[in-house]
Structure 1
């Protein structure tokens, strides 16, 4: 992960214990938190839901279900938001193959650098294929801990 992309991870963008019974609720709550901080445009919610329907982002790993939602053209200020909901949230599987993914961790990518989204996605997917980093990440109880653990493993 490039230095500039590492700066997109901030404790203010970590939301632990979000009470979201479904994907729509998670997106709605996340948008309501990101908008006042100046990270997303007014059409973010519509665009991210549309993008998720067309190109699902659920990823089942050996240790945890994750989702990596993102959308183009609705990022006002680059960011990576991390949500660990109270209970897993159902996401359709990436590439539409496999069972519904019960996401215990959602990383919303607001990367605007040319080619950056793909690069960050690859780094995160590689990270989540490793058991130890995922266990350590899931054990974090603060935004600061979540960010420092992610940065440690993303290089």
Structure 2
């Protein structure tokens, strides 16, 4: 497992996005929240949307895809990760394959400073969601507290 750092260094949040219809709405809502809380600068949202168009982050986990949109480190003021459940899936392009669309129901918005950091988190997220049962049960969550707890304890394996 990659070492993903201590919880006190990074702000972890959870969201349930009931009304979103597009990946742009998902990214904009989460970026706006991070901006309002002082974790990212105002360029973060557009930079993340642009990056998603050029380097998509959809992962074809089964039965529901996940996505890990993020921006360049210069747009991050303080590190944060927001995990969001989308009860109604939205289309994201597949990582490494722009022409393939994935129905995404779980999004991890990464606002991290080091490129290495992204890779460590990605590894933990991918390993956890290789199990279909984990995808199904996480996507069914409607408690932000439970989402945050599973993210920290089971996905990142941070001892609280």
**CA–CA distance in structure 1, aligned partners of residues 107 and 3 of structure 2:** 21
**C-alpha distance 2-79 of structure 1, shift in aligned 2 (>3 A):** same
**CA–CA distance in structure 2, aligned partners of residues 40 and 21 of structure 1:** 24
**C-alpha distance 56-114 of structure 1, shift in aligned 2 (>3 A):** closer
Q: Contact 2:11 / 2:79 at 8 angstroms: preserved in 1?
A: no
CA-atom RMSD, angstroms?
Answer: 2.0
**CA–CA distance in structure 1, aligned partners of residues 123 and 6 of structure 2:** 13
Q: Aligned residue for 1:35? A: 35
Unpaired segments ≥5 residues, structure 1: none
- TM-score of the superposition, structure 1-length normalised? 0.87
- TM-score of the superposition, structure 2-length normalised? 0.85
Q: Contact 1:18 / 1:83 at 8 angstroms: preserved in 2?
A: no
State how 1:9-20 maps to structure 2 within 5 Å: 10=12, 13-20=13-20
Offset from partner CA, 1:36-92 (integer Å, 9 cap, x none): 111110101110011111100011112321111111121111011112124111110
Q: Aligned residue for 1:122? A: 123
Number of aligned residues: 153
State how 1:59-70 maps to structure 2 within 5 Å: 59-70=59-70
Unpaired segments ≥5 residues, structure 2: none
Q: More displaced, 92-101 or 140-149?
A: 92-101
SS at 1:122 equivalent:
helix
